[in-house]
Amino acid sequence: MEAERRGVPAVAILTQEFRLTGETVAKMRGAPGYRFAIIPHPIGTLDDAELAQRAQDALPQVVSLLVQGERPVGVA
């Protein structure tokens, strides 16, 4: 969110398990409704190839948030 506030396009990627935490932090930081790319949980036990696949799977969400005008709420 700080990068976005400074004019640097960015997307936070969270696992499903941390979605509520992310939403709470966003609200506390003045960006209620901030949109995240959400990937399946967990990631800590994945090997490099599996983690790379999760990143690849998140790419459409990231592109949508960055390119297609779906700007996070509360961020200029």
pTM: 0.80
Name the residue ranges covered by the structural domains of the chain: 2-67
Distance CA 42, CA 21 (A): 15
Please name every residue paired with 14 in a beta bridge, in sequence order, or none if there are none. 38
Instruction: Spell out the per-residue pLDDT of the chain, length 76, in tens.
Output: 788 888 888 899 999 999 999 999 999 998 898 889 999 999 999 999 999 999 999 999 999 999 875 554 555 4
For residue 57, the one-letter residue type is D
